[in-house]
A and B are shown apart, each in its own frame.
Chain A
Amino acid sequence: MIDLWPDDIGTVVVRSPAGILREQASLLGEKTQHLVEAEVEPWMEMAPPGFFVYAFRLVAPTLGHYRYKLFTIAHDVVLYPVEFSVDSDIQAEISPSQRELGAPDEGAFLEILEKILGSQKTRRVVQALLTQAEPATDGIPF
């Protein structure tokens, strides 16, 4: 049998937006002693056919797993462009003149994501959660 597929067909060269979000989500816990974490939740049943939607939430495990949705992203099967749907406070801070927040490629996606994660609203919510969260203990004093 002749294999007509190119050798590199199985090689992934583009990172998916959801994959990037999961990477960033995993980093937050390390920065906050896991008092505040982040999760990426697929919302496929909310999406039109052929579209992928993900919600990015902050989670406070020691506050009854309180969750706050910072933003959602949506894209189709070719990954880019990606549409962001963000908190209006964040939108006003990072992109006051634009009604839509979209990233045509990975570079633009990372740029917008960095702005969202560093926004005043994000900082305020994380700080509020850290202030109220208490480290989990197992009752052993040493």
Chain B
Amino acid sequence: MTVFLFWNINRKPLQAVVASLARRHAPDVILLTECGSAPNVTLTALNQPGCSEYSYAPGIGCRKVDVFTRFPARFIRPVLEEERLTVRHLSLPGLTDILLAVAHFPAKTHWKEASQALEATHLSRSVTRAELQVGHSRTVLVADLNMNPFEPGVAGASGLHGVMTRRIAEKRERTVQGRRFAFFYNPMWSLHGDQSPGPPGTYYYSRSEQVEFFWNMFDQVLIRPDLLEFFSNDDLRILDCDGTRSLLTQEGVPDARHASDHLPLLFTLRL
């Protein structure tokens, strides 16, 4: 089993909370975006006496994502990067190799929805390029997309084409206007709202306008059909506690004051 933790930590000095999450869940791979601290600060917090030892696996061109692993960095080498995207070839001895794509998308405060949707087409193209490079599409995309699963950038065929059921995703692709588009399975659909075993989303905001979703699922895990045999929906969670302290306020929304305005994701791939 390979366990992954993803969190947008909102440029806060949350290394102690990250370390607490690591002690609680023992992730093999920790993926952080909006890191306010230098990697060595996080590494020091992670590698306290009696804890698993983590290494920093730096990217080359992408500085928007920090990757820490419980194995040497050479097993998670970057193969394709952009400013906001790092695609790593995760190749652990004796295990099935995969592509791990990690991204932090522009926020709605800076980009219109249409711009986000168009940029998602570029993200999709880059992921496909990386898949061509390594010769397979056993890809998991983990990202703060700053879009919900139902938005065009995530659901659209030219975007990430993330669909809500395995059955649809297992068809691998569909044709639109004469062009073929590969699917991602997007399990985050199933975690949105009250039926979620955990929090009903990963990001909360409330504005005084006609349409307001309140709970958003901006942080997402999307999985290619070729990787589905290694993934169980039961192994994906939105976390609301670091093991000792809640990451939510008394109102049950992300505690942006003491933690982050995003909630972490934890998932496992049985490679």
Contacts and interface: CB of A to CB of B under 8 A. Distances in A.
Contacts of A128: 60-61
A66 B82 CA distance: 11
A45 B159 CA distance: 12
Interface centre among B81, B89, B179 (most CB of A within 10 A): B81
A66 B130 CA distance: 9
Interface string A43-54: 101100000000
B133 interface: yes
B253 to A, nearest CB: 30
Contacts of B82: 68-69, 87
A73 B77 CA distance: 28
Interface string B174-204: 0000010000000000000000000000000
Contacts, number: 51
Given A128-B60, A132-B60, A66 B80 contact: yes
Nearest to A90: B83
A67 B125 contact: no
Contacts of B62: 68
Sort chain B's interface into a size bin: 20 to 34
A125 B89 contact: no
Contacts of B83: 87-89
Contacts of B121: 46
Given A43-B125, A46-B121, A46-B125, A68 B79 contact: no
A59 to B, nearest CB: 10
A10 interface: no
Interface in B65-85: 77-83
A132 B61 CA distance: 13
B129 interface: yes
Given A43-B125, A72-B122, A132-B60, A67 B179 contact: no
A121 B80 CA distance: 16
Contacts of A72: 122
Contacts of B80: 66-69
A67 B79 CA distance: 6
Nearest to A60: B60
Interface string A113-139: 000000000000100110010000000
A76 B14 CA distance: 47
Contacts of A132: 60
B89 A68 contact: no
B246 interface: no
A64 interface: yes
B81 A67 contact: yes
Contacts of B130: 67
Interface string A32-51: 00000000010101100000
A46 B122 contact: yes
Interface in A59-85: 63-69, 72
A56 B81 CA distance: 12
Interface of B: 60-62, 77-83, 89, 121-122, 125-126, 129-130, 133, 158, 179
Given A66-B81, A68-B80, 20 more contacts: A43-B122, A45-B158, A46-B121, A46-B122, A46-B125, A63-B77, A64-B77, A64-B89, A65-B79, A65-B133, A66-B78, A67-B80, A67-B81, A67-B133, A68-B61, A68-B62, A68-B81, A69-B82, A88-B83, A128-B60
Which 9 pairs show the lowest CB-CB distances between chains A and B?
A68-B61, A87-B83, A69-B82, A67-B80, A125-B61, A46-B121, A128-B60, A68-B81, A46-B125
